[in-house]
């Protein structure tokens, strides 16, 4: 029964997470750095096969290898389950749920509001996923947990990771000469996500209990 709870918690967490990041990308206010990178990879690779979801898988594979080089533990390869699931779910959200959402069809305030909704959902989903430590984590969360051993505070570690991700995303945006996913919300998401996760952890941990 406990294993079932852990699996379902993880599935729910990642389902919410992929919807949240897909919604933020759709608002065109500036994507979460990881997803901005996926967007620009899909723009720079001249092949229709490389959708945002597939580009996310490509970037995730590289991150898994980097995690292994740094952490030197084979458990990091469990992240491949999340990498393939995450990219596939993103493409499904884009194709079947958010297909009719167009940023051009709404004013900036509506799109900005939807971006904040996505950010809150993302923080909530990550607080669930990080708490469920015995289940596979995304490459970024694997590194976050590793970094927390040295930095101690979740939000500080998350901000540090996102600062690096922003640098990569901006570099790719310059190469693509396309800044549609690098905007004011890119910075907002990078610096607010950590604190949002921290606040949700105060609620999620007591509710979910011990999932180890």
- According to the model, what pLDDT value does residue 115 have? 95
What is the pTM assigned to this prediction? 0.82
Q: Which two tokens stand for residue 152?
A: 């101690």
Task: Report how far residue 171's alpha carbon sits from residue 77's, in angstroms, rounded to the nearest whole number.
Answer: 28
- According to the model, what pLDDT value does residue 48 have? 84
- According to the model, what pLDDT value does residue 66 have? 95
Task: Report how far residue 165's alpha carbon sits from residue 39's, in angstroms, rounded to the nearest whole number.
Answer: 13
- According to the model, what pLDDT value does residue 69 have? 95
Task: Report how far residue 147's alpha carbon sits from residue 140's, in angstroms, rounded to the nearest whole number.
Answer: 10
Q: What is the DSSP letter of 158?
A: H
Task: Report how far residue 161's alpha carbon sits from residue 30's, in angstroms, rounded to the nearest whole number.
Answer: 17
- What is the distance, to the nearest Å, from the Cα of residue 180 to the centroid of all Cα atoms in its chain? 18
- According to the model, what pLDDT value does residue 1 have? 63
- Which ranges of the chain have pLDDT less than 70? 1, 133, 152, 210-212
- According to the model, what pLDDT value does residue 211 have? 63
């Amino acid at each position: 029964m406990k294993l079932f709870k852990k699996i379902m918690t993880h599935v729910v967490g990642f389902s919410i997470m992929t919807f949240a990041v897909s919604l933020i990308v759709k608002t065109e206010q500036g994507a979460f750095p990881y997803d901005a990178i996926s967007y620009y990879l899909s723009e720079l690779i001249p092949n229709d096969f490389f959708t945002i979801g597939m580009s996310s898988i490509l970037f995730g594979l590289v991150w898994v290898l980097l995690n292994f080089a740094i952490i030197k533990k084979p458990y990091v390869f469990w992240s491949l389950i999340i990498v393939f699931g995450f990219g596939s779910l993103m493409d499904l959200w884009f194709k079947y749920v958010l297909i009719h959402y167009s940023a051009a069809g709404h004013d900036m305030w509506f799109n900005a509001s939807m971006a904040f909704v996505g950010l809150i959902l993302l923080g909530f989903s990550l607080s669930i996923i990080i708490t469920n430590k015995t289940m596979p984590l995304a490459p970024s969360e694997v590194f976050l947990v590793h970094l927390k051993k040295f930095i101690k505070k979740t939000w500080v570690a998350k901000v540090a990771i996102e600062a690096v991700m922003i640098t990569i995303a901006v570099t790719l945006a310059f190469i693509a000469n396309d800044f549609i996913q690098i905007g004011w919300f890119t910075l907002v998401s990078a610096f607010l996500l950590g604190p949002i996760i921290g606040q949700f952890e105060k609620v999620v941990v007591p509710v979910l209990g011990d999932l180890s």
